[in-house]
Structure 1
Amino acid sequence: MSRIVTEARGWIGTPYLHGAARRGAGCDCLGLVRGVWIALAGAEPEPVPAYPRHEVRGGEILRDAAARHLREIGLAQAVPGDLLLFRLHAGAPARHLGLLALREAGPSFIHAYERHGVVESPLTPPWARRIAACFALTERIG
């Protein structure tokens, strides 16, 4: 199993807290990825600017940031531990992140969202069709 998935599963149950990245105390979807990165690779590759809590129109901020540090891949190439970016509304920028995982029942992903905190969800067709990009996080810190 990927070290990334093992670390991310250790965050399951962490409550949702916008802008935070503290295992057990609180995080949002970006905070989960930041926390896993710090635990496995050390310092983050760039400072994270303040960002809005709810989706706003604008550029592909998350996708652009991921592309500065990771190689973009197709979903068919992704392995457990790789980064998934989701577009929650058609035509909107990608504003949600998750880490690909795998359970006996099939593909899943670990993510954090309001009212749920960090959870592992099945990568069902409604989630899969919202994937805007995949990045090979396992090449960098796997």
Structure 2
Amino acid sequence: MKAADPARVIAAARSWLGTPYHDQASLRGVGCDCLGLARGVWREVVGPEPFPMPPYSRDWGECGPREVLAEGARRMMIEVPPSEVAPGALVLFRMMPRAIAKHVGIITGPNTFLHAYERLGVIEEPLTASWRRRIAFAFLFPQT
């Protein structure tokens, strides 16, 4: 499987900037959560979503040992070591130590990333040391 052009992934992600945060949504300019942002970029870069997204609760990541997001991404994306993230990569963050990865972002530059954050919507911000150490998994979008 060959990776999609990182510039195309970043342009698609940046087109979501300013989209308000809305839990479980994935509609550019209207509302999305972090997973909805990734789904929207997938639709633009790769094509139709491969399966419907089941409903999930706001606290889904606080229970259970399964890395649900990583398992799903592995089925359709190209996994890379977190230490090798580069612009265009989708990253999964652990928001608390020893918790499962439950937040999603897209690397947009050597030290920046874009994500949908509650109360802030889709923003691009520095990939600080604090964010960088939370990266648990990284994936590349496949080429269509």
CA contact (8 A) 1:78 1:136 kept: no
Work out the number of aligned pairs and report it: 137
Aligned counterparts, 1:94-109, within 5 A: 94-102=101-109, 106-109=110-113
Indicate if the aligned counterparts of 2:21 and 2:116 stay in contact, CA closer than 8 A: yes
Corresponding residue of 1:2? 7
Structure 2 unaligned residues grouped into runs of 5+: 1-5
Structure 2 residue corresponding to 1:40, chosen from 18, 38, 45: 45
- SS of 2:13 mapped into structure 1: helix
Q: Secondary structure at the match of 1:32?
A: helix
Unpaired runs of 5+ residues, structure 1, are: none
Runs (4+) of structure 1 exceeding 4 A deviation are none
TM-score scaled by structure 2? 0.89
In structure 2, the partner of 1:62 is 69
Q: Which residue of 2 aligns with 1:79?
A: 86
1:132 aligned onto 2:136: yes
Note if contact 1:85-1:134 (Cα within 8 Å) is conserved in structure 2.
yes
The one-letter code sitting in structure 2 at the alignment partner of 1:135 is F
Q: Distance in 2 between matches of 1:46 and 1:88?
A: 26
Pairwise CA distance, 1:27: 0.1
Query: 1:7 deviation in Å?
Result: 1.0
Identity in percent:
46
Alignment TM-score, normalising by the size of structure 1:
0.90
AA aligned opposite 2:126: P
